[in-house]
Structures are given as structure tokens and as C-alpha cells.
Structure 1
Amino acid sequence: MKGILSVTLFVLFVIVLTGCSGNSAPGISSVERQESTAEPLAAPAEPLTPEQPAAQATMPTINIKMANINFTAILYDNESARTIVQEMPFTLNMEDFALQEKIAELTFPLPSAQTETPATIKAGDLSLWSGNNLVLFYTTFSNAYRYVPVGYIEDVTGLQSALGNGTVTLTFSANE
């Protein structure tokens, strides 16, 4: 029993010594450390809070007309928004949904796009939902659904009353 204990202690001693040694024994090949030519990683971005939406590059504005009222929307610079602008002008009959948004299916194909889940939807937000459904929100509320951001109406004064209840006809056109 004493012999087994001695051998075990000796093996542990050798393992500890070789594990603590930072250098290889002379003549034994080891992997050499090479200087890295890669750029250092950038510091991680601060996490977004619900009050701090992701920054989006914007494109020129568009006009959204309902009856005799016009609203100007600023579009985000993404493939979906660019495709929508290429199809302008167009008119949609947008149905009311959940007393917070107007929604209509677009009649032209859109590229697939990355969806986001904004913590808060704001009145005036213009988004795509479930493929080709264009959504114009007229109230602000907490959100748990995924959308493709398209743009927003900057001045929403009178938007909710202009949209009214039920279905509304909207014409979308590019501003020159």
C-alpha cells in the first residue's frame, strides 16, 4: 500500500511541475506563438434599452395621402423601403386592426428582410408584418411582435383622427 501511495504522489508531483512550467524542454518541439496581424476587436456596443431604438440610416421622404390630408414619412435605408419606393405611386385600402394600426397587403413582391422586435411601437411607425403586409400604426404601445422597419411619420399630429375607424384609402408617393 505504501508503494502505491508513493507512486501516486510522484506522478502528481511530476504533473504539477510540468503544468506549472511555462517553457518547453530544450529540443522538444512546441507550438510557437506568432504575432497576430488581426485588428483588435472593437469594444462591445452598449445594449439597447426600450427607450433607445436602433439607429437607422434614412432615405428621402414619401407622401402618404388620405382624402385631403397629407403626411410626410421618412423611410429607412433598407431593401424593403427601396423596393416600396420603386413601386410608387400606389393606393391601398388599409383595414383597421386592434384599434391601433391600419394594415394592407402589398401587391408586389418584397425582398426577404431581417425582422426586429421593437419594445415600443410609436404612432406613425411604418412597418412590414408577416411578409407583404404594410402596417401604419396610429397609437403608441408596448410590443412583442416582429416587424421589418420601413419608416415613420415624423409629425403625427392629427394622424389618428385622419385615419378614422374602419377601412381607409391611402395613396403612397415619392417626394421629388
Structure 2
Amino acid sequence: MSNIKFLIVMMFSAIFLFGSSVSCSQDQSTFADNTNINKQSSNTANETKGNKMKIKIGSKTFNATLFDNATANAFKAMLPLTLKMDELNGNEKKYEFSNNLPIDSSNPKTINNGDLMVWGSNTLVLFYKTFPTQYSYTKLGQIDAPSGFEAAVGAGNVTVMFELE
């Protein structure tokens, strides 16, 4: 049974990679200049396997770790990325991809400052405040030391660069 799950994950990853390589005017211009690094610490619910990255906002760089799941693997395949992320709700920045990511959403009960998640199947969300939630997300990773992260992202829209180490 686990072999079937592995094959399904690999098929979705291959389909996503192929789909993201097809020319798309909206995302091609956004991805052309992408260079950022994000690292994140391990979470007891999500083990990590050296998926270190950096997130850069202006002159500030935050280390993060991506979780070991199909969604994070699909996201890693798109890196490096530079994204213009929109402000939302005074606690998060979001970006909508034109292609869907593989998801396995659940309600985390609490969002933490520095969480990197996917809402729905194509909305990348970077949280800069801790708060309770009733919504479901697919976890991608988390910033290792989010101190100063809220100040770095600011109150409005922001350009964020993601890059593997």
C-alpha cells in the first residue's frame, strides 16, 4: 500500500513539475527574478530532512526548514522564487500560484509567527503573527527564529525571495 501512495505522490509531483514548466505569462515574469532563502525548524508533527532554505525581505534574511511532504517538494522544485505577496488580515502575506500544489490540509488550531503554509490548493501563505484558526492549511515549513519577522514584512504588500541553501 505504501508503494502505491509513493507512486501517486511521485505522479502528482511530475504532473505539477510539467505543469509549472508550461509557459504562463503571469507566473513567468514573477519567477524570472526569484532569489530568496528560507529556513525553518522542525515541528513535532512534521519531520524534516535537511530541507533548508532562506527567505529574504529587503536586507533581512530568515533561515527556515521545509517539511518533508509532497507539497514542500513541489514548492522546492519551483525555487528560487521572488514573489510579490499581498497583505491579508493584518497577520499574513499571500501569493496565488496559477497551478495547484499537491495538498494534505488539516486544521493546525494555532498559526505561529513564521509558519509557511498553503491554503486551498494554490495560495502560498506566510504568517507573521501567532493566532488561533478554524481554517485548514497544508504545512510547508517554518522560519527557525522568527524574531523580527513581523517588522521585516511590514504592514503592506511585500516582495519576498525564497531560495534553497
Q: Same fold (TM over 0.5)?
A: yes
Which of 94, 110, 122 lines up with 1:120 in the alignment? 110
Instruction: Tell me which amino acid in the other structure corresponds to 2:86.
Output: E
For residues 76 and 83 of structure 2, what CA distance do their matches in structure 1 show?
14
Superposed CA offset, 1:73-105 (max 9, x none): 111100010111111001111111110000011
How large is the Cα RMSD of the aligned pairs? Answer: 1.3
Does structure 1 residue 135 correspond to structure 2 residue 125? yes
**Letter aligned with residue 114 of structure 1:** D
Give me the whole-angstrom Cα distance separating, in 1, the residues matched to 2:80 and 2:122: 17
| Separation of aligned partners in 2, 1:92 and 1:105 | 10
- Contiguous gaps of at least 5 residues in structure 2: 1-42
Tell me what 1:75 maps to.
66
Aligned counterparts, 1:7-156, within 5 A: 55-59=45-49, 60-111=51-102, 113-156=103-146
Give the drift of 1:109: 3.9
Q: Deviations over 1:46-70 (max 9, x none)?
A: xxxxxxx762111321111111110
Higher relative contact order (CA 8 A, sep 6+): 2
Distance 1:65 1:107, change over 3 A: farther
Task: Measure the CA separation in 1 of the matches of 2:124 and 2:100.
Answer: 12
Query: What does the per-residue CA deviation read over 1:113-152, in whole Å, with 9 as the maximum and x for residues that have no partner?
Result: 2111011110000000011110000000011000000000
Q: Which has the higher helix share?
A: 2
What stretches of structure 1 of length at least 5 have no aligned partner? 1-52
TM-score, length-scaled by structure 2: 0.70
Following the alignment from structure 2 to structure 1, what is the Cα–Cα distance between the partners of residues 88 and 146? 18
Detail structure 1 runs of 4+ shifted over 4 Å in the superposition. none
Percent identity, please: 37
